[in-house]
Structure 1
Amino acid sequence: MEFMDKLAEVNSVMLAVFGISFFGSIRSLTKALLRQQDKRQQEKELLKSSFLMLKDSQLAILHNKIYTNCGEFLEAGYISIDDLDDLNYLFNAYKSLGGNGTGETLYNKVVALPNKNEGR
């Protein structure tokens, strides 16, 4: 109880000298910290949303490139070793981002094509 009496006395002195109370200062500080925490949470959610949009757009670009390349290779009836290497890089990135089975179906058809040692 003695501590509370001392705290009330300090609060009274601060109020008289500075025009602010200790408890009011603590309350203001707490509100400021909560606002800062809310702002950080909003920024975190915005970053997460932006990251997901970038991931989806990268997946769409890879999807388009794989479909275009696979169509050309299937039409030609063969694939060069260099092109197969490039396609592997595209497909592995596509798959790791969550690419679907239709891209994999085309990829598997192209991988089964005969190989030629010439560039595109």
Structure 2
Amino acid sequence: MEQVFISVMSTVAVGLLAWIARKMRALVRTNDAQQDGIRTLLRNELVRLHRDLVEAQGWCTLEDKEYAERTYIAYHELGGNGTGTVLYENIMALPIKDNG
């Protein structure tokens, strides 16, 4: 009887571990997709800031720079680099003017 109990418990444990592994893989895929999506949105925000501030306006406020910096830091922490870095550096090179 003890042997049957051990066999059943082993089978249950293996099944439970397999289920946990499947759930973990699904969570990792979901997390990766969410990070990719957020990184894309942050890059798009850097593109918009660059277009509005660098290309159209030629200056920015201190608040604009602070927002660009927060956006870039989050973008970079999610693995973004390359063109986002160039956009950020161009924004940070702008002269600061008071909006009022």
Q: What range describes the TM-score normalised by the shorter chain of this pair?
A: over 0.9
Aligned length: 99
**What CA distance in whole angstroms lies between the structure 1 residues aligned with 2:72 and 2:40?**
12
Alignment gaps of 5+ in structure 2? none
When normalised by structure 2's length, the TM-score is 0.93
**What CA distance in whole angstroms lies between the structure 1 residues aligned with 2:74 and 2:97?**
24
Structure 1 outlier segments of 4+, above 3 Å: none
**What CA distance in whole angstroms lies between the structure 1 residues aligned with 2:62 and 2:45?**
18
Q: SS of 1:73's equivalent?
A: helix
Higher relative contact order (CA 8 A, sep 6+): 2
Alignment gaps of 5+ in structure 1? 1-20
CA drift of 1:22 comes to: 2.2
Percent of pairs with identical residues: 23
Asked if residue 45 in structure 1 is aligned to residue 25 in structure 2, the reply is yes
Q: Which protein shows a greater Rg? A: 1
**What CA distance in whole angstroms lies between the structure 1 residues aligned with 2:70 and 2:31?**
22
Asked if residue 100 in structure 1 is aligned to residue 81 in structure 2, the reply is yes
CA drift of 1:44 comes to: 1.0
